[in-house]
Each structure stands twice: as structure tokens, then as C-alpha cells.
Amino acid sequence: MNAGLGYGAHNCSMHVMGRAGAGAVSHLCCGSSSRCSSSAVGREFSVRGFERPGCNWLRLPLRRGSDVASCHGLSWTVPTRRGGKRYPSVCASTTVPTRIYDGVAEDQEDYIKAGGEELDLVQLQASKSFDQSKIGEKLQLLGDETLDLVVVGCGPAGMCLAAEAAKQGLNVGLVGPDLPFVNNYGVWTDEFAALGLEDCIEQTWKDSAMYIEEDSPIMIGRAYGRVSRTLLREELLRRCAEGGVRYVDSKVDRILEVDEDLSTVLCTNGKNIKSRLVTVASGAAAGRFLRYETGGLGVVVQTAYGVEVEVEHYPYDPDFMLFMDYRDYKGREKGSVSAEEVPTFLYAMPISCTRVFFEETCLAARPTMPFSVLRERLQERFKKMGIKVLHIYEEEWSYIPVGSTLPVTSQRQLGFGAAASMVHPATGYSVVRSLSEAPSYAAAIARALRLSGGRSGTFNSQQAALEAWNVLWSGERKRQRAFFLFGLELILQLDTPGCGKDFLAPSSHQ
């Protein structure tokens, strides 16, 4: 669940199944030669028993990118705990590779942000192919001129920021691989309309329902829509083209600070781009380009496994969107579910009476709940509810790091979106927040650059960056985020009944 700055059921702005925008992983330099295949669709998994980690978990070395098993087999290492109980392979190691994927991740935190043990499936999600317009066909190609701002990353956050910065009169370049938007997006229709993106909604439900423990639904009282990823990308590209944003189809190798006024973006295609400021909007695993605060509680990950399928019968009311069903996926009696079992819930968008997008979601877990466990739970839920799958249209793997440390806000390179830790720590929402804040952030960047006046100005690009960072992460926002981190830690301690009580609290859904 990844989108707006939402704190309760009514304020949750956008649900995103998958990374927060295409290009969140694949824009980076990748040293792995293995490619994942969509032939994984329909494969069976048999990993069971994911529980909260304790002191008896084995210490296993982290897998480097080149060690990840091919997606064709989707094999999962299952270590044995003392006493013979078996768990899925989840990293609990203090021995961490210093570099993975040709330097993309420099430490354990960036390794986890990039996908960790689930990296093969995260990359499979990012590598999906859809019939969408090429960026290079919509935007002019960048020449050799010096820019005011380079935006690294071509997901929703990066495109929106580039368009808004160009609207401010800045000379803007957009850099990243020309990849489609691959994630399924759901949104509260009123909030998307406020962004001027209502025409990108392809289907609407008049209300949304939640189930906690009882069989009677809690109605949220708010219309929900499914966003067309193609139309959303087209609209953001239109805004970029209208503002004169120019494009380079390349991954980024390094960002160098040439002098006090200019930085140089070194692209893997050999092109060097000079710019007064650079903003990294390329997804959570941005440790190659940005510095982050040390310490903190460590990265927690929200994972979800989704399928769009044709079914024989849909057991819910198709007039409503299913926001959360926290009832036990096996239908076990109350009190019989172990307190150590990490809770998950079902999310569903009925496209018709028989075609549905289902998703089994783990709101937050440390270590990460594997996709294989989520897939098995979804299969168990289907079995319990008598849902017979007739055809699989699409499989989806959502991997959202939450609770990451903040970027160092005194550094010269800027960040935006997940790269700037804008993902809500307790919910996983970020995309609508990014789309909503792009105009004010772009205005702050433009204002700071104009005040700097270039080489003859009163202060340099470093000072301009400080001004922009202070708008994105002011002292008040940092204090607010610390409170949300407390909420994240609470979620990590709750069992399924605890999650139910939390969502049934008046502040959760009023």
C-alpha cells in the first residue's frame, strides 16, 4: 500500500501493488546477467510456517545478486531451525556484503531496499512489458547544454517533479531507462481528482469495505478507483513535454560535484550532463547517489503478492472495492491462531463479477515476509472461500521498504519520492504524497536557484540545495515522521487480533 500521506482508512490516498513507479530498481547499474521470465506464472510454492523471528533463527549469509536463483525455478532455500522446525529463507545475518549489483547497495540497508532475498522477483516485476508510449517519442532528447535541474528516475515521482520544475521555468532534464509503468494503482477518487488526474481512472467503485474479525463489513464511505497505468504515464509525459523537459535514455553511473555551482551526471551510455542541481527520484535503493542518516531502527518491508484472475465465483459484493479483509486466511477459530504468526490481509478490486485483482499483503515485517508465503496464504484463502481460478492474467510482486532513515539534508544532491524516504513508515503510502508535493518542492527548487543567481549570485548550489531540502524535510516533518516510526514499531508487535483491534479503533476508520 503505497501512496499518499494517509494515517487512517479515510486518509489513505493511494494503493500501489508493486514498486512505487516503474524504474525504481532498473534505472540503477546492475551487474547481474540473469533475466527473469514470466514463465513463473502458475508455479506452485510450498513454503510454510512464516512466523516472527526469535533468537533461534539461523544466521545466514546474504545472497548477492549473482547468487539469486533464476526465476524459472523460483526456488527458496528453507533452513532448519533448532528443534527441526523449518522456515523460509529470510536474512537474519550480521555478515553483510559491502557491495551488491555492481555497487548499487553499499550496506545492508540498501541491500534490503533493493529487494534483499526477494530481489529476483522484484526485478521480474520491474521488467514487465506493456504497450505504452516511448518517452523518447514524447520528449525532446537532451543536447550538451547546462541544465538547472536533472531528475534521475522515470517513475511517477520523477516525471511529476520534472514537469512541475519545468513549469517553474527551469531548464530540466529527465534521465533513466525508457520503461513502462508496471504497477497496479488504486486511489480514492476525490484525492486523485484534486491532482487533476481524474481522467486517468479507468474504473470506480462507489464504496470500499473492510473485514476485521466479524463477517459483517465495515464500510469506509468513500469512492475508490483503479488507475490506468497507461493513461497516468501518458498524462505525466504530456506535462513534461508541455514544459519542455528533455530526456536521456540511460542508467546513471555516478554524480560528481564539479565545483560549487555545478554537478555532472555520468550516464552509462557515455553521456555527461552538467546541472546546477540533481534530484534523485529513482526508488528506495538510492544509496549509490544519496547519503542517509545512520542509526535508526532499520528497514522494514511491506510485501504483497497479487494476481489478476478470472474466477468461477467472486464471494464479495462486486459493487464495492475490498480494501482489507483481515479475517484468518485459513478460517481458523478465534484464539487458535498463534500470536507469533505475522498477520496478512486480502485486498481485491473486482473488475467484473468474475475478473478480479486479488492481493495478499503483509503490512510490515522484519525480516521480510517472502512472496512465496504470501502466495501460499492467498491459495489457502481461495480454498477456504471456494474461489476457483479459471485463468491468470497477471502476477504481481509488491516490495515496499518502510521505516528507512532520512536522507542527510545538508547534502548537495536532492532526493524525491521513495529515494527521499517519503514512504509513510506505518502504512507504506508514498505515491500520492509525491504527486501532491511535487509542485511546492519544484517551486522551492526554482526559488532557491533564482536566489543563487548562478556564478555571480550571493550563494552557491549547495546553499540552494539546503533551501530545497528544508521544504521537503522541515524540522516539523522530521518530528512527525519520528512519531510514525513509533506506529511502525507497534505494527511489528501486533498479531492478527491486535491488528483488528487497532483498525476497529474509532480513529482508524472515522
What tens digit of pLDDT does each residue of 71-115 get? 322 232 323 332 333 333 333 222 222 222 334 445 788 899 999
pLDDT reading at 47 higher than 60: no
Cell readout for 510 is 472515522
pLDDT confidence of residue 44: 33
**Cell numbers representing residue 278 in the block:** 540533481
Residue 53, pLDDT > 50, answer: no
Higher pLDDT, 26 or 251: 251
Closest CA to 481 of 394, 375, 409, 395: 409
Alpha helix (H) ranges present in 332-427?
A: 371-385
161-170, 198-207, 418-427, range with the lowest pLDDT:
418-427
- The CB-based long-range contact list for 253-257 (8 Å cut-off, 24+ gap) reads 253/29, 254/288, 254/289, 255/152, 255/280, 255/289, 255/413, 257/412
Q: What is the CATH number of domain 14-202+221-291+404-509?
A: 3.50.50.60
- Bridging pattern class, strands 252-257 and 414-415: unpaired
pLDDT of residue 319: 96
Domain definitions of the chain by residue range: 14-202+221-291+404-509
pLDDT band at residue 163 under the 50/70/90 scheme: very high
DSSP assignment of 49-64, as one string? --B---TT----PPPP
For the stretch 475-490, pLDDT in tens is: 999 999 988 888 898 8
